[in-house]
Amino acid sequence: MRETMDRAWLAEAVELARELAHAYLIEPSEENVQFIAGAMDPQLLSLIGTGKHEFYADIASFFEGLERDQQEAQGVVFEILDEYYEPRPIGCDSCLVIGTLWVRERPDRPKPLLVEMDTRFTIVFRREGGRWLLTHLHHSTPNLDQRRDEYYPKTATEQANAALEYSKALERRAELDSMTELLNHAAFEKHVAAALIEGAEDNAFFMIDLDNFKTVNDTLGHPEGDRVIEEFADVLEQVFPRDALVGRMGGDEFAVFSTNPLSADDAEAKARELIETWCDRSAQRAVELGCSVGIVRVVRGRTFFDLYRAADQALYASKGNGKACFSW
């Protein structure tokens, strides 16, 4: 009976953690501020955030900081792209909830760049009077100066010793997706748009989406999902080693723009090679993975958004045709 109750308690803690995240980020209303206040332990609260000022030792200082944050971020609302929560019991009356939260700004009008945060967090709850109270929260974001597979971020120190190289590295880093080191969405769009202005013609534009990726996150956890994204980025660079711009558009969606003319046969050969290489690489995984591809021919006068929409429609056609295939 106690084990069943403990599982129920842990499920309550996960749900409370999710509700607090949504109240804070998605609907920052006065009602939700009161909900957050009611869920916090008035005696033991501490909070460490990602901002330089976000170190609070009591509930009063936290709400002072929250008020300033909301004033500065007035009008900014986020949408949750992905989230992951995992509970761990601590003794008989406390538990830990660890996880990740990936959010992006939801603007009321189109913007060239959107704020995006990929946060890791640890929450400590204490059981009192039949409910959980939040006693401690610590959240952090990955260090942008830390390269993949590098455990100590030496990069920032090295760059600080050479100001010019540091400046160049910052410019380049701003264009890269932090997880895969492919071009990020904004940089990919910028470079493709520049190529189109210069008269690119008869090139190919590929939109690629991983098949069954959500199942990986749901069944194997988000760390394994991150490894899948990184591994697929390596396959993309293997199949398109040169004469192509390769970008991560967000989540498990990628795009490739051939910087030289590519015949229809050659474009299809590239798509086929990508699908087969990824299927072979994924054959031993617990979740069967594939990738679907949409291809568009680049003609003079088309904009980036024209290509993006057309390739996205072709991609959905591939999904509808059974996945792990390509469509024009």
pLDDT tens digits along 239-282: 998 889 999 998 999 999 999 999 999 999 999 999 999 998 88
pLDDT at 157 over 70: no
Report which of residues 270 and 148 the model is more confident about: 270
What mean pLDDT is predicted for residues 225-252? 92
CATH architecture of 175-327: 2-Layer Sandwich (3.30)
Domain 2-140 has CATH 3.40.50.720: no
- Tell me the C-alpha distance between 205 and 217, whole Å: 28
What mean pLDDT, rounded, does the chain reach? Answer: 86
Please report the pLDDT score of residue 20 as a whole number.
92
Nearest CA-CA partner of 100 in 116, 83, 115 = 83
- Lowest average pLDDT, out of 140-154, 159-173, 182-196, 208-222, goes to 159-173
pLDDT at 158 over 70: no
pLDDT at 26 over 80: no
Domain residue limits, the chain:
2-140, 175-327
- Lowest average pLDDT, out of 117-121, 274-278, 315-319, goes to 117-121
3-state secondary structure of 227: helix
Question: By percentage, how much of the chain surpasses pLDDT 70?
Answer: 84
Question: By percentage, how much of the chain surpasses pLDDT 90?
Answer: 49
In DSSP terms, 140 is beta-bridged to 120
- Tell me the C-alpha distance between 39 and 132, whole Å: 7
pLDDT at 233 over 50: yes
The token pair at 279 is 């299927």
Fold match between domain 2-140 and domain 175-327: no
The token pair at 180 is 């895969």
Q: pLDDT band at residue 30, thresholds of 50, 70 and 90?
A: confident
pLDDT at 285 over 90: no
- Tell me the C-alpha distance between 90 and 94, whole Å: 5
pLDDT in tens, 36-61: 999 999 888 999 988 778 899 888 88
- Lowest average pLDDT, out of 16-30, 119-133, 134-148, goes to 134-148
Sign of the Cα pseudo-torsion (257, 261, 265, 270, in order): negative
Please report the pLDDT score of residue 147 as a whole number.
63
Give the pTM. 0.52
Please report the pLDDT score of residue 1 as a whole number.
40
Residue 275 burial (CB < 10 Å; 0-12/13-18/19+)? buried
pLDDT in tens, 171-193: 677 889 989 999 999 999 999 99
What mean pLDDT is predicted for residues 148-169? 59
